[in-house]
Structure 1
Amino acid sequence: MRRMAAVKNYAGSVYGGLGHLLKLYCESQQFDVPDDLLAVQNLERFDYVIWRDLLERLYARHPQIGLGLRIAEYVQPKHLGILAYIALSCESLGEALRRYEDLHRLIYDGSPLKVELVSGYFSIHWEEPELHPTQLTDEIAIALMVQFLQQFLCQDAIQLHEVHFINSAPKDTQVYERYFRCRVRFSQAKTQILIPLHERNKLVGNADHTLQQLLMQQAHALLQQLPQSSQLDQRLQQAILKGLQKNDYQIDQIATQLGLSVRQLQRHLQQQNMTFQQRIQQVRFMLATEYLKDPHLSLRDIALLLCYSEQSAFQRAFKLWSGTTPQQWREQHDNH
C-alpha cells in the first residue's frame, strides 16, 4: 500500500471557466465532448488533476504539437474570471502583472507564480509544483496568459524576449516560436516567460480605478475562501485515500475523521454540485490513472487496490469515467 502515499501531493484547483474554454475548443474542432468535461461545466472550481487528465485525454485522442497553444487561441476574459477584468481595469502592463501575481490563485490554485526582475526582464515563472505538470499543462498556462495579454489587454503588441519550458523539445519547435514570436527554449531549469522591462509601460485600453477597487474587494474575498476550501478538499481526499487502503470509506467514518457531521460534509459537497459517491469515484479515477502508468501492476491488482471485489466491476467503472477500457487507457498513455 506504499503507492497510495505517492499521490498525497495532489492538491489545488482551477477556475471553472477553464472547463468552459476546453468545451468551446472541442466544439469548434467538432470533437466529441467527453462526459467528464461535461461534468465540470457547472462547477465554480474543479480539481487540478481533473484539468490535467482532461488535457492529456484530449491529446491522446487528437495528438498534435502545441495543442495547448491552439486551445488558448479561443480564450475570452470570461474564461479567466474576475482576474481578467481586474487586469483590463489597470493602466499598464506592469500594473496588470503585479495584480496577476497577487491573485493568480483565482485561476489556478496550485504551484506559486512569481513575477521577478531578472537582468532587465520581467521573469514570470511557476515555482516547482508537486502536481506532476506536463508539457501540455505548462504550455497552456503560459499561452493563456500571453494570448490574453496580446488580444485583450494592451493597445500595442507586447514583445516577449524568451519562453522557457522544463520539458524536452518536441519534434517541431517552430510551432512554439511562431506562436510566441520569440525564441523558445526547452529542457530549462524552470518554466517561465521573459518580458523586456520597457514593455511594462504599455498602456491598457480601458483603465478604470473605481471599477478596479470594487473588483479587488471581491477578488480578495474569493481569495480568502480558497485556502479553507482547498484545505478541506485536500483533507477529504486524504481521508478517502486512507479509507480505500482499509476498505473503510463510508461517509460517516470520513466525516468523523474530518471533525464534521455527515450533514456538514454533504452540504460542503453540494456547494460543489457533487455527491459523496461522486467524490469517491473522482479519487478512484485519479488513483486508477496513476496505477495504470505502472506496468508492474495488473488490472486485477489495481481493482483490488481500489476496493473492487471483481476486476470486471473496476473495468465497467473505468469505462464510465473515461470512455475507454483500462487496457486501452494504458496503451494510449504508455509513451507519456
Structure 2
Amino acid sequence: MQKLKDYTGSVYGGLGHLLYAYCQQKGIPVSIKLQQVQNLERFDFSLWRSLLIDMDQQLHTPALGLEIAEYVEPKHLGIIAYIALSCESLSEALYRYHDFHRLIYDGTTLQVEMLEDLIAIRWGELPIHLTTQTTDEIAIALMLQFLKHYMEFDDIHLHEVHFRHPAPKNQGLYEQYFRCKVRFSQPYAQVLLPVSELSKPIRQGDQTLQHLLMQQAQALLDKLPNSTQIDQRLQQAILLGLQKHQFQIEHIATQLNLSVRQLQRHLQQQGSTYQQRMQEIRFLLARQYLQNPHLSLHEIALLLGYSEQSAFQRAFKQWANLTPQQWRLHNPE
C-alpha cells in the first residue's frame, strides 16, 4: 500500500497563506512549520495534510475545514480565481475549475460526471488513508467559497454533499453550511448539483480579470494605431479566447460574425495569418505576465493557451531569443 511519504502531489503556496491568515484572524500562534511554507510557490500535499492535522489537534474546532474556507480570498487560489472571472455561467466556471484544479489542490483529482438530472463534482482516486475529514472538507469548501465570491451563491442549490470519512460530531454544522443533505462514510467525497443550476449567471460586480483583459487589449491596440475595427475586435476576441481556452480560428471567426474564409482573407490582405496574429498577441501578453513575480511559468503557459510549459518556453525562445527565465531576470517588474 502506498505510504504518505511516497506521494508527490502538491498544493498551491497560497493555501499556506490562507492558513496564516486564519491564524492571524483567530489570534492563534503561527507554528514554525506554517511559517516555513509562506515563501513557497508550492509545497507537498503531505505537508498540507500535516499542517491541517496539527491545527485540528490544537484547536479541536468542529468542521475546521469549513471555518478555514470562510477566510479564502482570490489570491489564496492563484490564477484559477482570475480565470473564472472571465466565465459567464456556473457551468463554465465549474469546468474551468475542473481544468485547472490541480494548480491549487493536487491532493485529490477532480472529476465531473453527469448522473441523469444531477452533476457530480467528485474528489476521488487518492487512497482514503492519505486524507482526513479536514483535507476533504476544505477541498470542497474552498471550491464553494470560491464560487461564493463571484456568483449569486444564495441562488445555487446543492442536492447533496458526500464525505468518505465517518460522521464527526456536530454533523448539523455541515448541513447548515452546505444547506443540503450531507452524507458520511460514502464511496467518494463529492458535491451533487442539479443540472438545472448550471445555467446560473456569474455575478458581474467584480470582474477583475475582465478589466485586466480590457487593459491589455487597449495596450495592444495602442501598438497598432492604424488597425481596422475588425483587427481591434479580433485582438479582443483572441485575448478572451485565450483565457477560456477557446482560441481556435473557427471559434474566433464565429465571435466576429465572420466565416473562417472571410477572416483568413482579411488577414491575407494585410500580409498576415491567424497563427501569426495569435503569436504576436501571445508574445505581448507573455512579456506582461513575466513581469508579474507572482505568476509561475506554468501558470503563464496556461494563460497563453499552452497545455505544457515546455511548449511555451520553446515559443518564447523563438520570439525573444531568450528563455522566459532569462527575459524575466532582465526585465523585473
Please state which band the TM-score falls in when normalised by the shorter chain: 0.5 to 0.7
Q: Which residue of 2 aligns with 1:109?
A: 106
Measure, in 1, the Cα distance between the counterparts of 2:51 and 2:141.
17
- Find the aligned partners of 1:54 and 1:153 in 2 and give their Cα distance: 30
The one of 71, 74, 88 equivalent to 2:71 is: 74
Aligned to 1:133: 131
State whether residues 98 and 110 of structure 2, in contact with CA within 8 Å, keep that contact through their aligned partners in structure 1: yes
* Structure 1 pair 110–225 and aligned structure 2 pair: CA distance change class (3 A): farther
Distance 2:76 2:155 in 1: 21
Task: Identify if the C-alpha distance between structure 1 residues 219 and 122 changes in structure 2 by more than 3 Å, giving closer, same or farther.
Answer: farther
**Is the counterpart of residue 18 in structure 1 residue 15 in structure 2?**
yes
| 1:82 and 1:215 in contact (8 A); partners too | no
Label 1:166 to 1:76 Cα distance change in 2 as closer, same or farther (>3 A).
Answer: same
Q: Tell me the distance in 2 between the aligned counterparts of 1:91 and 1:216.
A: 10
| Cα distance between partner residues in 1 of 2:93 and 2:4 | 35
Give the C-alpha shift of residue 132 in structure 1.
Answer: 0.3
167, 177, 180: which one pairs with 2:175? 177
Paired residue total: 223
Cα deviations across residues 89-146 of structure 1 (Å, max 9, x unaligned)?
1000001111111111111124321011112111000122147011000000000111
Corresponding residue for residue 205 of structure 1: 203
CA–CA distance in structure 1, aligned partners of residues 102 and 114 of structure 2: 21
Report the counterpart of residue 81 of structure 2 in structure 1: 84
Scaled by the length of structure 2, the TM-score of the pair is 0.62
Note the 1:183-198 alignment, pairs <5 A: 183-198=181-196
Matched, 1:51 2:135: no
Look at both structures and tell me which one has the larger radius of gyration over its CA atoms: 2
Whichever residue aligns with residue 201 of structure 2, its letter is L
Give the Cα separation in 1 of the matches to 2:159 and 2:4: 36
- 1:103–1:219: 8 Å Cα contact kept in structure 2? no
Aligned equivalents of 1:44 and 1:6: distance in 2? 24
The answer to whether the 8 A contact 2:5-2:46 is kept is: no
**1:82: how far off?**
0.7
Normalised by the size of structure 1, how large is the TM-score? Answer: 0.62
Report how far residue 49 of structure 1 moved: 0.6
Any residues of structure 2 matched to 1:288-327 within 5 Å, and which? Answer: none
* CA separation of 1:134 and 1:7: change in aligned 2, threshold 3 A: closer
Cα shift readout 1:180-225 (whole Å, capped 9, x = no counterpart): 0111000111110011111101111247476644446774725635
- The one of 74, 91, 96 aligned to 2:93: 96
Task: Summarize the Cα distance change of 1:7–1:75 in structure 2 as closer, same or farther, 3 Å threshold.
Answer: closer
Matching residue within 43, 51, 64 for 2:61 = 64
The match for 1:221 among 290, 296, 301 is 301
Give me the whole-angstrom Cα distance separating, in 1, the residues matched to 2:144 and 2:177.
Answer: 10
User: Does the C-alpha gap of structure 1 residues 16 and 176 become closer, same or farther in structure 2, counting only changes over 3 Å?
Assistant: same
Moved more, 183-192 or 148-157: 148-157
Helix, strand or coil for the counterpart of 1:136? helix
Query: In 2, are the aligned partners of 1:165 and 1:188 still within 8 Å (CA)?
Result: yes
Residue 42, structure 1, aligned to residue 39, structure 2: yes
| In structure 1, C-alpha distance between the alignment counterparts of 2:157 and 2:123, rounded to whole Å | 20
SS at match of 1:26: helix
The amino acid that maps onto 2:301 is A
The percent identity for this pair of structures is 53
- What secondary structure does 2:66 align onto? helix
Q: Distance in 2 between matches of 1:133 and 1:70?
A: 18
The Cα RMSD (Å) is: 2.3
Aligned to 2:28: 31
Q: Which runs of 5+ in 1 are unaligned?
A: 227-336
* Deviation per residue, 1:56-87 (Å, 9 max, x gap): 00111101110000000001111111111111
